[in-house]
């Protein structure tokens, strides 16, 4: 008997509120069009990242990537109020009319949360083993979300065994890639090789990109993207003076156990005291990477550090914590002009610039080598916590919303 698909539906404004909705009328699926795949989410991860998609979803179009299916029952069929959000993971190919991606293989990439399969038009990418979505419904979606890596049917065994390698790919890989783009392309060891026009489409100078002697402060340092960035900034030839983790009390023990930071401070401490403790003068370069610090810590620290250092950059990467913020407030905050020292990072823009500089093959070969090395080492003190089925996903979402997720645990689900 055909599986009855189940999807997670969120209240867009109050995205801590969720519902699992069954869609019996979606099964069985109709025949597949040419050059298409039928993709069903099989493994997915949850982290602060998914809440950022919900929080900034109306601003950046993240609610539109996986719309509510036509048979969604009332009241959840009201797309003004309800929507589906996205997750990184592995999808299984249930059917295919593209020879390079046969049924039974898997795609790693951006997926909906639920067991309902989606039909997508695809073509082979320029680099072998990757495909690009060409469906008109995805034409406005940022390029990073339209590219998928193909895995062979044998991945099934690793998925069934809940292998660490699968969990890391699902939970950490895109965070590591974001960090890799920042470390190797925005702030490369040779600053003259930095890619241009990367943040806010602004010009990006070799002087901006130079971390020689700089003090780097990372907010939400226990975040996957933060600890990956610290690791790369320590190991890829940058000559920064020090990489300091600025954490909340909540993540303190985990962050202290991480080997990639030179020092750990609390975000409850005052930035001026921290600069004097670490002997940072007013002319010294300070770079604040905000990977999703809680409340308004990013804004507060940025304002304080801008007043203390004449050579300061603030790079927002994360979208803040998981608290619900009205879409109007988000929109008006983003409409305010940013000071010159604030340069927002976008993994999608950065990846496009990196590919324009090096070509697909060189870019993805370099990333794969760095990712393989990082994954082999693993994150010390970090454990994957596997769940099964959509009820477990619902539980994981509620746990993060209630501030009960541990930074030392990674939430991954087989559905």
Assigned token pair, 107: 């795609």
Strand, coil or helix: 148:
strand
Residue number, 150 or 225, with CB nearest to ligand NAP: 225
Q: Are 206 and 192 spatial neighbours (Cβ–Cβ below 8 Å)?
A: yes
Q: Which residues make Cβ contacts (< 8 Å) with residue 52, sequence separation at least 6?
A: 292, 318, 319, 320
Binding-site member from 8, 96, 178, 414 for ligand NAP (CB under 6 A):
178
Residues 1-20 that bind ligand NAP (CB under 6 A): none
Is residue 48 at the binding interface for ligand NAP, with CB under 6 A as the rule?
A: yes
Q: Are 107 and 148 spatial neighbours (Cβ–Cβ below 8 Å)?
A: yes
Residues 297-356 that bind ligand NAP (CB under 6 A): 317-319, 321-322, 345-347
CA atoms within 13 A on the CB side of 226: 33
Residue number, 41 or 346, with CB nearest to ligand NAP: 346
Residue number, 36 or 47, with CB nearest to ligand NAP: 47
Report in angstroms how near the CB of residue 115 gets to ligand NAP at its nearest.
23
Q: What is the 3-state secondary structure (H, E, C) of 340-380?
A: CCECCCCHHHHHHHHHHHHCHHHHHHHHHHHHHHHHHHCCC
Strand, coil or helix: 82:
strand
Binding-site member from 8, 36, 41, 49 for ligand NAP (CB under 6 A):
49
Only one residue has tokens 């020879």, namely 99
Handedness of CA 320, 326, 331, 333 (dihedral sign): negative
Is residue 47 at the binding interface for ligand NAP, with CB under 6 A as the rule?
A: yes
Report in angstroms how near the CB of residue 119 gets to ligand NAP at its nearest.
27
Report in angstroms how near the CB of residue 400 gets to ligand NAP at its nearest.
6
Report in angstroms how near the CB of residue 325 gets to ligand NAP at its nearest.
13
Binding-site member from 18, 141, 146, 251 for ligand NAP (CB under 6 A):
251
For binding to ligand NAP (CB under 6 A), which residues are involved?
47-49, 52, 175, 178, 220, 222-225, 247-248, 250-251, 291-294, 317-319, 321-322, 345-347, 400, 403, 405, 407
């Amino acid at each position: 008997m055909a599986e009855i698909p189940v999807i997670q539906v969120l209240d867009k404004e109050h995205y801590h509120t969720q519902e699992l909705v069954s869609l019996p009328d979606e099964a069985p699926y109709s025949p597949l069009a040419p050059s298409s795949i039928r993709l069903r989410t099989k493994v997915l991860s949850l982290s602060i990242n998914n809440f950022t998609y919900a929080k900034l979803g109306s601003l950046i179009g993240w609610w539109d990537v996986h719309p509510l299916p036509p048979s969604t029952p009332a009241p959840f069929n009201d797309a003004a109020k309800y929507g589906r959000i996205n997750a990184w993971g592995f999808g299984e190919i249930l059917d295919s009319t593209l020879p390079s991606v046969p049924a039974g293989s898997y795609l790693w990439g951006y997926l909906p949360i639920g067991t309902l399969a989606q039909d997508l038009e695809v073509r082979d990418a320029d680099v072998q083993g990757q495909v690009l979505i060409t469906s008109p419904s995805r034409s406005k979606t940022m390029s990073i979300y339209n590219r998928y890596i193909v895995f062979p049917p044998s991945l099934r065994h690793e998925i069934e065994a809940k292998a660490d390698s699968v969990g890391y790919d699902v939970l950490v890989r895109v965070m590591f890639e974001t960090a890799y783009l920042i470390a190797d392309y925005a702030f490369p060891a040779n600053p003259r090789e930095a890619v241009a026009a990367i943040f806010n489409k602004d010009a990006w100078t070799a002087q901006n990109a130079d971390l020689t002697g700089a003090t780097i402060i990372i907010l939400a340092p226990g975040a996957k993207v933060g600890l990956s960035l610290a690791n790369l900034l320590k190991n890829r030839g940058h000559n920064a003076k020090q990489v300091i983790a600025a954490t909340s009390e909540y993540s303190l023990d985990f962050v202290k156990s991480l080997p990639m930071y030179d020092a750990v401070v609390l975000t409850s401490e005052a930035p001026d005291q921290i600069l004097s403790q670490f002997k940072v003068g007013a002319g010294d370069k300070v770079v604040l990477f905000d990977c999703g610090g809680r409340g308004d810590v990013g804004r507060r620290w940025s304002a304080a550090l801008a007043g203390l250092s004449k050579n300061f950059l603030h790079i927002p990467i994360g979208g803040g914590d998981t608290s619900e913020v009205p879409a109007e407030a988000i929109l008006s905050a983003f409409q305010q002009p940013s000071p010159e020292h604030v340069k927002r990072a976008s993994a999608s823009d950065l990846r496009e610039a990196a590919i324009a500089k090096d070509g697909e093959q060189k870019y993805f070969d370099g990333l794969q080598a760095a990712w393989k090395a990082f994954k082999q080492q693993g994150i010390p003190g970090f454990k994957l916590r596997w769940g099964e089925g959509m009820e477990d996903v619902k539980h994981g979402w509620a746990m993060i919303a209630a501030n009960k997720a541990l930074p030392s645990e990674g939430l991954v689900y087989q559905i």
